[in-house]
Homo-oligomer: A and B are copies of this chain.
């Protein structure tokens, strides 16, 4: 309680806020405990592991070495120790003033032997200390014995200097004693000062960079010894240790001057031991030496090494049983001891810690893998205190179903050959391939003392395993993988705050030259087709505008057509490519294709962007045409007669022609305005459905560079990057599929059974007794025949409904232009004469807008306009009625060829031609008739945004905005155009 109260003394607020704390006085509180560590205890204290606090030791006692118990002070022996809190010590008598090693007895030190800090005797170097007889009986005085170095004993004191043990074999063979005498003593070994021994000095400095040179303590003590032991005795661990040191210096070689660094020594020994033969028929694998290098002189050039004998294993992709690329490492410690064979799974080669699933995903065959993290240097220092070396192999089945190991070549980007980083270039044959790697080297960078913190550490900051598929392989064969490694040197300054970015990736690559060639052929062919197509279109256009000359406008038009056709060609090729990869990569069971790597994708991206740009051009062109189309509503209604009006003033009777109500025209114009941007698909629904499939159902998850299909986001998704080609293939595939289904649904079901706005429009034309004449080109256009079968439409509800009823009951004629036909829609190809006449009549309509401001006689221009309107109405009505003698027309069907090439073969010379058009091609001047262009444009827009941002939701959002903006422009300008051309006030176009 007291402690609790004391704790609160400083915080009266807390006391007020929490009176409950102090209420149940019967119990004490569970409160905090001061934090003390072993280091906090003074020399007189020990750390009580039960109470977690420092406590004073008894008299004559002090902290033990580990700090968790007490020990007797020097000169005091232990007389009781029950492992409890207290021990007991007693002073040693003056005669036996030293304490034995076990601390329980006092003993005398012999003459000339001094007491150490702990109050124990210490014999001179080379002597052993004896405190007991052989049978355990204690001696009165410590005995210091020299070990007998000569034959037959050959002994030296052991590490603890308590017993004599046999000295190292090298001493005995060299000198027949345990004294190296004038021979070469290095690294604890003794060698003859033989001329063939490497007696010259060796290079023990490691040059990390220009300004960073470390005299490595490890190299100082072990390099020469290993080299000599390896060369002289073919000592296997010594050879491995030498090899390891070479690897620690990045396998760098200086072939010009003989240079006695680790790799130089390795090379020297390699040459000198040629008589020992090679292992496993591999020329650069000397029997006694570790295999470090691929020698291009004796093994062949790197390109041959990397593209030789493929594995016999056939790789397949089955979701049920994922195939693993089994990497096996032989692990060595720095002293050259072979530790074990280990599978690379479980993150042996991966410095970044992660979940097992994610780590092991690296070795699932076919999975492009990328793992990245940033590690604190302090963590590397503590975790990789011991450096390990790895020889990497791939385990595969041999011919006889036996386990075979294929060595994996290493391309160390930091390797210097005569001071040049040969492996950094892409020139394959300049590479110097090696074998052995390490991940973190915290040893070589230690100066002076191996127990001190290193000055520099070397970390494998980027490891990439690249696997190449055998070209034209239909059997899933691969070339041996290559491991690309790069190291970074970190000068240790403040390990707690220093960090190092690490990455590990696995890349699958195949030779795409054939695929690219095929793409190019397809593209070339399609471009040729487009050219022809565009030329036909231009020719058709020339005819339709009634012009013959080839002028700049023609060339421009050709280019515009060409843009559209080229866009289609590009789109077709990219779409095909995307779909190809999607289907073949995701669908294959035996590996035959691998995805293009990001660098191989550039060509593809270029195609997609080109297709988009060209398509945009085409769309703008089409919009331009639509927004300037010439349209007129022909009112067939004739005044019903004269009107008799009684004038208020007198009893007079006046007559005037009954005016024909304009409201039917308004109605039809409004309706025409409303169908401007009707499409065969619902574009919003399109976006939502695509988004639904991609993001909710999870098709987006199929675009990862994994041959296995999974609709759900899995742990692996984090480490398997998405492929842009697959994203394009998936997005465009779904977009087009949904689009086509919508079009089919719309034309096949919705328009038939629910609502067809286009047919409704034609219907309304008929009912309202109004025809529509549209000129999309100068001499070419469309005609919708809307003459009412009842003769009149401008009437009251009673008659209207009667008329409708009569028509429904088939009590009247058919609506067609030619009697007894039903065809109401036509393409028209007029003679120039008609068009000239038409333009002449309508002239006032067009200059009005400009002259209004200039001449300021609005009324006049307004009257002229009205007159022009009436004249046009009359003129076109007469023309359709065959009433104008020299401007007659004939109605005919289009030829099949004409339909196919989209060009009329006969030019109208003196008679205008009306082509029956049941396909309602007048919708070409609306959104409705250009569904394919719009659909492909939307697809490309969606995909281009996604390629740039890798975000389907953003793409959907921007596609929506794009659609709305273009639609708004189309509607606004289209409405204005309609108002100008038909003289219907904009207020009636709602």
Contact = CB atoms under 8 A, between A and B. Distances in A.
Contact of A964 (B84, B667, B685): B685
B797 A662 contact: yes
A725 to B, nearest CB: 23
A399 B661 contact: no
Interface stretch (A195-203, A592-600, A642-650): A642-650
A651 interface: no
A330 B105 CA distance: 35
Contacts of A696: 951, 953-954, 957
A128 B138 contact: no
Interface stretch (A30-38, A262-270, A843-851): A30-38
Interface in A646-678: 646, 655, 658-667, 670-671, 674
Interface in A1-23: 1-4, 7, 10-11, 14, 18, 21
Interface stretch (A302-310, A571-579, A727-735): A302-310
A312 interface: yes
**Most B CB within 10 A of own CB, among A288, A663, A692, A862:** A663
Contacts of A51: 279-280, 285, 287
Contacts of A237: 49, 83
A406 B165 CA distance: 53
A746 interface: no
Contacts of A128: 134-135
A80 B232 CA distance: 14
A948 interface: no
7 contacts: A21-B308, A35-B404, A49-B236, A49-B337, A85-B236, A136-B156, A137-B148
B309 A21 contact: yes
A81 interface: yes
Contact of A663 (B240, B794, B862): B794
Interface string A145-178: 1111000111110000001111001100100000
Given A7-B399, A354-B354, A691-B953, 19 more contacts: A3-B280, A29-B281, A31-B406, A33-B282, A33-B405, A33-B407, A34-B404, A50-B288, A80-B169, A102-B165, A135-B145, A135-B146, A353-B355, A641-B645, A663-B768, A666-B667, A667-B667, A696-B954, A797-B866
Given A287-B50, A664-B663, A866-B798, A957 B85 contact: no
A402 B33 CA distance: 11
Nearest to A640: B643
A909 B393 CA distance: 102
Contacts of A132: 153, 155, 164
A679 to B, nearest CB: 15
A11 B83 CA distance: 73
B644 A32 contact: no
A-B CB proximity, top 6 nearest: A136-B155, A136-B164, A82-B233, A83-B235, A84-B234, A49-B338
Contacts of A661: 661, 663-664, 794-796
Nearest to A398: B32
Interface stretch (A414-422, A616-624, A759-767, A772-780): A759-767
A337 B354 CA distance: 31
A294 interface: yes
Nearest to A394: B32
B10 A399 contact: yes
A300 interface: yes
Interface string A87-115: 00000000000000010110000000000
B53 A229 contact: no
B692 A954 contact: yes
Contacts of A525: none
Contact of A53 (B84, B279, B660): B279
A194 interface: no
B403 A35 contact: yes
A954 B684 CA distance: 15
Interface residues of A, number: 188
A56 to B, nearest CB: 14
Given A338-B68, A797-B866, A169 B32 contact: no
B145 A308 contact: no
A136 B305 CA distance: 56
Nearest to A67: B338
A227 interface: no
Contacts of A375: 356
Nearest to A400: B10
A234 B86 CA distance: 9
A35 B282 contact: no
A298 interface: yes
Interface in A624-649: 640-646
Nearest to A282: B30
A395 B35 contact: yes
A130 interface: yes
Contacts of A84: 233-236, 288
A741 interface: no
Contacts of A799: 659
A135 B407 CA distance: 51
Contacts of A236: 48-50, 83-85
A352 B353 contact: no
A614 B760 CA distance: 40
A671 B985 contact: no
A239 B28 CA distance: 24
A620 B145 CA distance: 107
Given A153-B138, A309-B31, A688 B960 contact: yes
Contacts of A960: 684-685, 688
B134 A153 contact: no
Nearest to A84: B234
A287 B52 CA distance: 10
A239 B48 CA distance: 12
A414 B719 CA distance: 38
Given A102-B165, A356-B375, A795 B659 contact: yes
Interface in A47-72: 47-53, 68
A172 to B, nearest CB: 9
A341 interface: yes
A670 B163 CA distance: 114
Contacts of A655: 644
A529 interface: no
A801 interface: yes
Contacts of A30: 282, 294, 299-300, 305, 308, 407, 409, 480
Contacts of A398: 7, 32, 34
Contact of A32 (B137, B354, B405): B405
A27 interface: yes
A238 interface: yes
Contacts of A104: 166
Contacts of A951: 696
Contact of A641 (B644, B684, B685, B961): B644
Contacts of A105: 152
A85 B399 contact: no
Contacts of A207: none
A404 B7 CA distance: 12
Contact of A645 (B166, B405, B640): B640
A800 interface: yes
